[in-house]
Structure 1
Amino acid sequence: MGRPEDVSSPGEGFRSPLIDAAHPSSARVYDYLLGGKDNFAADRDAADRIAEEFPAIRIGARENRRFLLRGVRHLAAEVGIRQFLDIGTGIPTSPNVHEVVQGITPAARIAYVDNDPIVLAHARALMVSDPSGRVGYLDADVRQPRSIIDSRLVREILDFTEPIALVLSAILHFIPDEQNPGDIVRMFVAALPPGSYVLATHVTPEHEPRLRPASAGYRADGVRTQARPAAEFEKLVFTSQGLELVDPGVVLVSRWRRDPADPPAPPPAQVSAYGGLALHKG
């Protein structure tokens, strides 16, 4: 394996990892729910409060992760996509997107984006590319899409004249309507060349009413969230952007092309997240 790319450079929002351990972080809460160890008491407390209202939260997190890996594997193996822009990547959890993709296409190129100091601290050590490909990490905020699209690091790693897979896994429910998530998605999609794909997941309140009070508790900890039903998610990410959904469309993440090697799918109320993959024809 080759060396990790320089994860960020001066002039592109680089900063030392100033970690706020007193307040929960969505990346660290997700890490805790997946069984990771890169989290603090505030993150564990926030996750445990969510679990009191929505006991299946850990099942949903694991199913979301399985969907992500199935989706990028499909894109690399079946579609032939060699470039990935993964926004809101979270704390590295093996297998990572680049490990799956480069296991299929060693020359694949992956740009990760997040704005959590813990993710930044781990990126140098864990996001290591195959020598024939490239992997890099940009410290940036999804709510500032232009700073990501135009960043030197992303432009060095990805060729915007060739198809790119944009990955928005479990990130959009942290952008409430007043922050204009549709405009954010639109800016990202507009930058993609024809033949690109968008893979996204989103928490939903449709199958488990206890998810709403759980989300309210998360907001009380300072983390804004907005669960959305399937129709809103589909319009936000796919139909309003002119994308063509890939079969089976927007479905529960547990039901999207489930791998025979996966355990049996849990009931919808334990998953409470939708996922989809769509083609950008340009």
Structure 2
Amino acid sequence: MALFGFIGAGNMGLPLMKAAAATFGKNEVIFTDASKERSQFVSDQTGIRFLTDNCSVVKQCKNLVLAVKPQFFPVVLNEIKDVVTKDQIVISIAAGIKIESIKSMLSNSVRIVRAMPNTPAMVLQGMSGICFSEDTFTDEEKEIIDRFFKSFGKYEVFDERLMNAVVCANGSSPAYVYMFIEALADSVVSYGIPRDKAYELAAQTVLGSAALVLETGEHPGKLKDQVCSPGGTTIAAVKALEEYGFRNAIMKATDACYKKCEELSNK
């Protein structure tokens, strides 16, 4: 029996699967995907064994990772409900799907870890928020879960009531960061900087700025102030950002993201 079984090998499932295989060994990971062509491609690329149907994966793993989109959850859970056991742990990475909803479709005895990773897991720099169902998990099981989420980055544990906010903070927000990098690069390309160098300047600056926040523990506002010399170029730029609603746009995006999560949760 494999330690991890994945249903879904898409943009999130694949990097988590590869990280698990690197940490626990390829023989400890199996998977399936709705596309047989995708399954074969991923297996050829990674050396991880795939099975042809969801129930077979469930029957042959200890920890089941549901890496399918929220809209496909009802179909998948209905298919596997009779083969999931209380001895297994189900890890869901779907936005907006509550633990109680998963239990209602499977069984109240099934233990659930609800998680929200993000795409930087592809380069082992992911950030995940997780919560546990109110069930008993052994120390050994908790250690395995800890190693799994650390295999592709960092994680924090939250109360489930905060998980939709976690989606806003780390699940969807990489898209905003990429948009910022793209916009910043476009703006300096207009002044003559070659596009490849513009992307490198912008992306490395975002990476370094984020590292500075994490490593110093300083308030982002204080670090921002350190860049803003009196009467200088940066404060002029910050003034323009405020004028055009930069921070408000981010907050409005978060509101829209949260609202969508709530809609998914209430379905």
Normalised-by-shorter TM-score class: 0.3 to 0.5
Q: Which has the higher contact order (CA 8 A, sep 6+)?
A: 1
Query: Which protein is richer in helix relative to its size?
Result: 2
TM-score for both structures, normalised by structure 1: 0.37
TM-score for both structures, normalised by structure 2: 0.38
